[in-house]
Structure 1
């Protein structure tokens, strides 16, 4: 049922985009073809038709090719789209496809770590337990109207997988001993166990950091800070960056890149 529903959403998106511009559909069969399709976009604007993982994958590829600054993305959510919607993208395929044709580019901040990973929406340490997920990803390039700076010529989407992809199980998170530094200043040190750390990029080129100390009685007051760089040090910790879990690592630094990427949003956003 999920695959059928996703396929219908993709068809609706294509119909709406085709009504306002010429479109061409390509079906990459894996990450390598996905990357090649995105690399062959030329002057065309890519449109991600798919779930949050597809959006993060597209941003990551463009960032690592150092092409992100000059390439605005558009999104038509299909599948898990909590991240895209949190960024301001309409949830329905019709409204989202119309935004592709009629919306405006908004520059958004990005968290980039010292391994060249990216965070669009939120970073969490430790991560929540990973559940089985169904990927219905799609990457894409759609055509636009004459008044847009770049015409959209093709709509590229990845094939939905036929069954859930089960990721490795991760134990439920517990208290951790972490050193959290913001712009070089220690917010919490290793002697203070913490329940969770969250980092969100922007606005204004600053990351918002919240640390929840371990509480043995009444709920502990969160420690909050803001800055351009966030460094976390600890013993083999994992973290969730948007829809994916990474690690274990012993040290990682995230830096805010102000206005690093462009996303097409409704003009009233």
Structure 2
């Protein structure tokens, strides 16, 4: 019988939706993981059992088998329990997995399971709002359809506190338009206004950017010619307006009248395929 080190012991938590939608991928993932590590498989039937399984992980490394909502649920739980910094997650994506794949997780059960076994932890930034909600990928105002998420264009800068408004050279994918007269929002980055309530906007998108800052894009509403988008970056983003909703990763929240997001640099760890794009953990660094 093969023996494995404690570091190779995995807690495989299989989301019930994954078992229903693609049982074959779940079976393949369990087979690959079990062949390379000592695994304990949990099959929670609901959110409470999911939280209990994650909380009882002990020294085992948690591996999530499920969709993007499963990943966000786990990060949210660990963040609210203040255990996120010390618990690296791994994912085998099954179902709607655009978020996980955008973070670097391979698509397909075999490739993702092998990355769990052979990959390395990468520390990723996180957006946390004033209600303790988290954003892993991007948020959009107004909520964009799930399969067409807002994609902000990063602001290039070598200085982490740098903030500027710039013109775009190339037009990124458009977000859904808002019927006239548009949404009136005040958007502040590090306390400085990017747009105020007197300027209707078509859309706002925010995402964790490099260097511990958030990348912000504001698209003013225009009649006729398309208005030039405004870009900014900073560590805190505050949006104020009358009962607006927003999409954070795969979930729509609101209505709210004010919400502030701040960047937590390197707040969580995700196991990704080892390679040039994988940042070493502090223990691995020379």
> TM-score range, shorter-chain basis?
0.7 to 0.9
Aligned to 1:236: 243
How far off is 1:176 after superposition?
A: 0.3
Cα contact 1:110–1:259 (8 A) shared by 2:
yes
- Residues of 2 paired with 1:211 and 1:240: CA distance? 15
Which residues in structure 2 correspond to 1:164-175 (within 5 Å)? 173-174=178-179, 175=182
Aligned to 1:97: 113
Change (3 A) 1:18 1:32: same
Cα contact 1:202–1:258 (8 A) shared by 2:
no
Q: Pick from 79, 86, 93: which aligns with 1:70?
A: 86
- Residues of 2 paired with 1:116 and 1:74: CA distance? 22
Aligned to 2:95: 79
- Residues of 1 paired with 2:19 and 2:35: CA distance? 24
Task: Tell whether 2:20 aligns with 1:20.
Answer: no
Q: Pick from 206, 209, 222: which aligns with 1:202?
A: 209
5+ long unaligned stretches in structure 2: 1-17, 148-176, 278-286
How far off is 1:5 after superposition?
A: 5.4
Which residues in structure 2 correspond to 1:39-58 (within 5 Å)? 39-58=55-74
Change (3 A) 1:102 1:130: closer
Secondary structure of 1:24 counterpart: strand
Cα contact 2:105–2:112 (8 A) shared by 1:
yes
Change (3 A) 1:130 1:113: same
5+ long unaligned stretches in structure 1: 132-171
What is the aligned length? 229
TM-score w.r.t. length of structure 1: 0.82
How far off is 1:227 after superposition?
A: 0.0
- Residues of 2 paired with 1:4 and 1:33: CA distance? 17
Cα contact 1:182–1:225 (8 A) shared by 2:
yes
- Residues of 1 paired with 2:66 and 2:209: CA distance? 25
How far off is 1:27 after superposition?
A: 1.2
Cα contact 1:28–1:34 (8 A) shared by 2:
yes
Aligned to 1:110: 126
1:56-89 deviations in whole A, cap 9, x for unaligned? 0000000000000000000100000000000000
How far off is 1:217 after superposition?
A: 1.0
- CA-based RMSD of the aligned residues comes to 1.7
Q: Which has the higher contact order (CA 8 A, sep 6+)?
A: 1
Secondary structure of 1:17 counterpart: helix
1:107-144 deviations in whole A, cap 9, x for unaligned? 0000000000000000100102579xxxxxxxxxxxxx
TM-score w.r.t. length of structure 2: 0.77
Cα contact 2:76–2:134 (8 A) shared by 1:
yes
Aligned to 1:264: 271
1:130-169 deviations in whole A, cap 9, x for unaligned? 79xxxxxxxxxxxxxxxxxxxxxxxxxxxxxxxxxxxxxx
- Residues of 2 paired with 1:65 and 1:89: CA distance? 25
Task: Tell whether 2:27 aligns with 1:11.
Answer: yes
How far off is 1:266 after superposition?
A: 0.6
